[in-house]
Chain A
């Protein structure tokens, strides 16, 4: 993966953002650790102590990330095409929102169709139709044969029965 990541020597804002994220995670751990009861028992180490150690480690790493950001040693990503990424994320988001309303097959078909659209396959309606066929087969195999409990909607009830 590392071949296209050419380091450049100028400060990178991404590094500061990453460092802020790491520090934020550390703060979450520290706040939670402070709320834990200190019953270390014989070990002297309670439920809050290991998270606290991890938080210190994260803070240290955040510091080094800032330094590497200042020196510009963090690799810079290639130019990204945002549209395909947004199609996929949109598909995932819709699946999350619609899963319990329309059932597994339809929401999975939307995810499939949106992903294929993100990779350049048009038209969208045909992608979703193909996805629906695939999702119904998967529903049949996994929900009915392998007893995996997939949420069914009106469509699944119509085809596979209650």
Chain B
């Protein structure tokens, strides 16, 4: 019951009027961003990171978490009404949700998505609160080699296990790892790959890379496509769910939560996998599977719940181990580091108030979101009618604002443009973006753990697999790399590419 009292203390922090305001700003921005096609939660957090330098750390982090949750809610709106998922985890929602909208059932689809997200977010956040202290206890027993093994596992799952090509995923990851080498080596202080440019000493800023790849790369790709997007569906008829809609929705909500949370919590890629698994499960369990593909409400309720549950799940490794398993989590980690905080077991000791305030705020944010998303849905839909020239003009303006605000040097802006072009090229040839960001942020951490582990073992490389935990993790990583390779080789890769980890 120790978690419970800590959570109650957290709630008292979270209900502070200033913190409530930050949470409200976060969820509002997050919903807006989730609704707008083309910008996901990862990008919004990256855009806002530089802006919050001068603000209160607890408030800013709570705002970021609000954006993450809000983005997950808002994404469903775009998928249902526009059939263009606002963020990648909503792709599955788009399948059934858009069909429902075509049949004039957009209202119930939006409602089941919002209420499902609420139920899942609530349960998953409580699970996070009760699980986190246990993981922290476990994490304290882990040494450098176990951390290194965990990071290898995260590298493999983020880049190679899912998506349609291990080659392209790994290439993205290694580009990120190579970029991570730039700057001062954390252990010896040697300058690497700086070529005498002082701005490179600090390494490549995560926010610069993320903003360039996500915002500028995306804007270039959308501009280059020059193809008109499909039309918007009006919300017609009943907005509220009928009794039978409720009856058909509540089980998928719970099942979606049960599937989404563990997948988010394991270092196993983003929320996309959970949503797809939930969709497949609902299709299997449904008494009338022929409805799937033609607007089955279960196909919206389950994946949306899974989506939000895994967003909460992702926070377990992020907060307890300092291990980001999605692009948004990677950028949130950069947010923590900006305020001089290092997520991990020690954070629960040194900044207990902040951590529990953050977790409790998630509960508060969840309530705010259901209010924002059900009665105010009409307002959000208006956002979809902003003409694209103004929308992307604004996105680029904000993208450069962040970089200019932190470091108005031509070198930094030049890197922004360079990585933006790289992001465009990667989109053209189907290279995933998230592994680059994860590689950049986890790369130096993995290197430090590796070298620490080797120092302890006097340079003996077998130390990396010598404990049961690290050995198992490394073996699991190898398995997750090799099995999908074989599946693809024998033409069974369709399943994996369906679960492609896209931008978030």
Indicate if the CB atoms of A116 and B389 lie closer than 8 Å: yes
- Considering the chains assembled together, what is the distance between the CA atoms of A39 and B388 in angstroms? 54
Q: Which residue of A lies closest to B172 (CB)?
A: A61
Contact A28 B417, CB 8 Å, known A44-B454, A54-B177, A108-B397: no
Q: Which residues of the other chain, A, contact B452 by a CB distance below 8 angstroms?
A: 43
Take A1-B500, A68-B167 as given contacts and tell me if A146 and B51 are in contact as well, using a CB distance cutoff of 8 Å. yes
A28-B193, A75-B429 given; A113·B393 CB < 8 A: yes
With both chains docked as a complex, state the minimum distance between the C-beta of B446 and any C-beta of chain A, in angstroms: 9
Query: Does the CB pair B167–A85 fall under 8 Å?
Result: no
- Say if the beta carbon of B174 comes within 8 Å of chain A: yes
B171 at the interface (CB under 8 A from A): yes
Contact check, B405 vs A115: say whether CB atoms are below 8 A apart.
no
Known: A36-B190, A85-B424. A75 touches B393 (CB 8 A): no
Question: Contacts of A151 on B, CB cut-off 8 Å?
Answer: 404, 408
| Residues in chain B near residue A116, CB distance under 8 A | 389-390, 392-393
Residue of A87, A88, A120 ringed by the most chain B CB atoms within 10 A: A88
A contact patch SS: helix
Do A61 and B223 touch across chains, with their CB atoms under 8 A apart?
no
Is B429's CB under 8 angstroms from A81's CB? Answer: no
Q: Are B193 and A32 in contact, CB atoms less than 8 angstroms apart?
A: yes
B interface bracket (residues with beta carbon within 8 Å of A): 35 or more
Shortest CB-to-CB span from B172 to chain A, Å, is 10
Q: Are A43 and B224 in contact, with the CB atoms below 8 A?
A: no
CA distance A99 to B404 in the complex (A): 9
Of all chain B residues, the one with the shortest Cβ separation from A115 is B393
Asked if A5 and B177 make an inter-chain contact with CB atoms under 8 angstroms apart, the answer reads no
A41 at the interface (CB under 8 A from B): yes
Instruction: Kindly state whether residue B421 has any CB partner on chain A within 8 Å.
Output: yes
- Cα-based distance from A84 to B224 in the complex (angstroms): 6
Task: List residues of chain A with CB within 8 A of the CB of B450.
Answer: 45, 50
Shortest Cβ gap from A106 to chain B (Å): 12
Interface flags for A60-87 (1: CB within 8 Å of B; 0: not) read 0100110010000011011011101101
**Stretch from B74-82, B181-189, B307-315, B335-343 at the A interface:** B181-189
Is the Cβ of A92 less than 8 Å from the Cβ of B459? no
Whether B389 and A127, one on each chain, are in contact in the complex, defined by CB atoms closer than 8 angstroms, is yes
- CA–CA, A83 and B451, complex, Å: 48
Is B134's CB within 8 Å of the partner chain A? Answer: no
B187 / chain A contacts, CB cutoff of 8 Å: 47
Max chain B CB contacts within 10 Å: which of A47, A80, A116?
A: A47
* Residues of A134-150 contacting chain B, CB below 8 A: 134-135, 138, 142, 146-150
Q: Are A148 and B396 interface neighbours, CB within 8 A? A: no
From residue B409, how far is it (CB to closest CB) to chain A in Å?
9
B181 touches A50 (CB 8 A): yes
Q: Is the CB of A95 within 8 A of B413?
A: yes
**B393 touching A47, Cβ below 8 Å:** no
Q: Are A96 and B459 in contact (CB under 8 A)?
A: no
Q: Which residue of A lies closest to B187 (CB)?
A: A47
Contact of A75 with B430 in the complex, beta carbons under 8 Å = yes
| A88 B223 Cβ-Cβ under 8 A | yes
Q: Which residues of A contact B454 (CB under 8 A)?
A: 42-45
Whether the Cβ atoms of A51 and B408 lie closer than 8 Å is no
> Quick one: which of A1-57 are within 8 Å of B by CB?
1-2, 5, 14, 18, 22, 25-26, 28-29, 32, 36-37, 39-48, 50-51, 54-55, 57
Hey, which chain A residues are within 8 Å of B421, CB to CB? 89
A143 to chain B, nearest CB (A): 8
B408 in complex: contacting residue of A18, A55, A68, A149, CB < 8 Å: A149
- The contact sample of 25 A-B pairs, CB cut-off 8 A, is A1-B427, A1-B502, A36-B190, A44-B458, A44-B459, A51-B178, A51-B181, A54-B178, A84-B223, A88-B216, A99-B410, A108-B400, A111-B397, A112-B397, A115-B223, A115-B393, A115-B396, A116-B389, A116-B393, A119-B389, A121-B387, A121-B389, A127-B389, A142-B405, A150-B405
Identify the 6 closest CB pairs spanning chains A and B, nearest first: A44-B459, A121-B389, A116-B389, A43-B454, A84-B223, A119-B389
